[in-house]
Structure 1
Amino acid sequence: MATSLGLGAIQITGGASYLSPSIDNNFTTQLIVIIIVTFLFMLSAQTGLNKGIKYLSNINIVLAILLMLFLLFAGPTNFIMDLFVTTIGSYIQNLPSMSFRLSPFDNSTWVQDWTIFYWAWWIAWAPFVGTFIARISRGRTIREFLIGVLAVPTVFGGLWFSVFGGSGVYLDFFKDLPVMDVINNKGTEVALFYVLEQFPFGTFMSIVAICLIATFFITSADSATFVLGMQTTNGDLNPSGSIKLTWGLIQSLTAIILLWTGGLDALQTAAIIAALPFSIVLVLTVFSLMKAFKEEGALKREKKSV
C-alpha cells in the first residue's frame, strides 16, 4: 500500500506540474500530496464501509467510465478497437510463454522493471484485496464472485489500456507527436496528461484524470486501512477508528520514507521484497481453497442424502 501511495503521489504531482509549471515536480510537492491524500482517506475510513468507501468507489467508477468513453470517441476510435481485439487475442495466444519470459541472454531490465514489478505489486496487494472483497462479498456464489472479480475487471482493464495506451501509440506512430520524448525527458507520469492535451477539452480532462487518480488511491488506502485493522484486532469486522488511524499513518509514513530515500526505484524494490514471502502463502492458499471446496461439496452431498 505504501508503494501505491508513493506511485500515486508521483502521478498526481507530475500531472499538476504539467498543467501548472509553477508547481515543482519534486519530493516536497509529493509530500504535500501524500499528506492531503492521507487526510482524505483517513476521513473516509472513519465513516465505515457503507458511506465513505462506497460513495468514493461509485465516484471512481463514474469518472473512470466517463474519461475512458471520452477518449475512446474523441480519439482514434477505429484504431483503439482494432488494438483491443488484436491485443486480447495476442494475450490469450501468448500467455503461457509470456508467463515464463525472462532475459537470460541480455542485460535488458525490461522484464524486471515491468513484468516482475507488476507481478510483485499485485501479489503484495493480494492480502488486502482478498480480505476486503471477501468482507463485502458475503452471500455471493462462486460464479458471481468470479464474474465480478475476474471476468468483468479483466475485460474492462483490457479496454482501459487499449484506450489510453492506444491513444498514445497512435499519436506517436501516426501523428508524429513526441510521446516517447515526453516519457524519456519528463517521466512516465506526465505522458497521460500530454496525450489528453492533444484532444478537445484536454486541460479539463487532465484535471478529471488527477481527481480520478486521487480518488482511486484514497479508496485503495481506505480499504487497506480497514483490512489491516481487521487483521490486527482478531478479525473484528468493524475495527475501531483509532486502529484505522494508526495503520493509515504507518502507510503514509512508509510511503514518504521510500520516496525520500530512493524515489520510484525504492518503491519498486519495496513491492518486490514484500511480495516474495507472500507468493509462497498464495500457493498454499490455492491448495487450501481446493480443500475447502471439496469439504463443502461433501457436506452438501451428505445433507442431500439425509
Structure 2
Amino acid sequence: LSGWDGAGCTPCCGTGVTFNRHALVKVGGFSTGSITEDFKTSLNLCAHGYTCKYFLQRMTRGVSPKELNAFMVQRLRWAVGAIQIVRAGNPLFTKGLHLRARWLYFWSTVGILYIIPVCAMGVIMYSTILAGASISFGPVSFEEYLEFGGTAVGLMMVMQYLAGWRLCWRDYLRALQDNFTVFMTLIRAILIGFCGVEMGFAVTSKDVSFDLKANLYHAAPHVFVYLLSGCAMAKAVLEILADEGVFTQFWTSSFQPKLLYFSIGWTVFLWVMISGPPRMVLYGWRRARREARATLRCANAHVPALQELPNTPMNTFPPLSPELW
C-alpha cells in the first residue's frame, strides 16, 4: 500500500478503511458487482478525481487472520472479487484514471492469471525430468524455458516492483512471495470467477481456533510441490553427476546439463517462495499445544487462564498525524 500511495490511488481495503461521506455520495455510494466492494469503490473514487491516502500508523488491532485456513479464504474472496471487477470493466480503459493508476489496478485484477504459466512451467519441467524424455506439448530447451517462464515471472516481478517501489527489498520479496503462497487459491479463484460461479460475501473470521485438518487442506498443495520437485531434483543431481563421469547413467534422458542447472536454481527459488503455508501449519499446531497445556495447568491449579493481551495497549497508540484532521 505504501507503493500505491506514491501514485495517489491507494486501494481501500479491509476494516481499517475510512470513506469521506461527501465523496462517496458524489460517486453514487458503494460500488456493486463485486464481493470486494471496498476495492471497487476506491477505483471508482480515483476515476472521479478523488485521492485515496494510506497512513502508516497503528490505529486498529485484531483485523488480520492469524490461521492459514482463514488467510486462504480471505485471499480467495479477494481474487474472485478482482476477477469480477475486470469482467465488469477493464481498469486499463476506465476513464478518469491516470496512467500509473490504470496499470496498478489492472495488475491487481489481472495479475493473478500469471500464476497459470508459472505453474505450467513447473509441471512440465518436473514431469519431463522424471519421465526422462521430452514432452511434446512443453519446452525442452533452456532457451524455450527462458522465453516461456522467464517472461511470466519477469512481468510478475516488474509489476510487483511498480506497486511497491517505495518499499525496502524485504517488503518487495514478501509481496512477491504472497503470489506463490496462494497459488492454488488463485487457480480456484480463476475457475470460480471466469466460470460465473456465484460466491457470497462473508467477513473473514480473524480470531478462530486452530483447526489442524482445515489448515492441512490448504497446505497440501505446497507439500505436494515439495515432494514432486524434490524427486525431480534428486534425479537431476544424479544426471549431472553422471554427465561429469562420476558413474554410468543407466537410464535415458533428453535434458541438457545447463537446463538441469536452471531447474535446480528455479527449485531453490520456488521452495523459498512456497515455504509459508507449511510453516504456518507447524507454528499454529505448536501454538495450539502450548495454549492447551497452559489452560490445563490453570484448570488444575484453579487459576483463570490469562487472555491474550494486545502488544500495544489502546491508550498508547501514537497520536494522529495532522493529515487525519
TM-score for both structures, normalised by structure 2: 0.23
Higher Cα Rg, which structure: 2
Query: As a proportion of its length, which structure holds more helix?
Result: 1
**Higher relative CO (CA 8 A, sep ≥ 6), structure 1 or 2?**
1
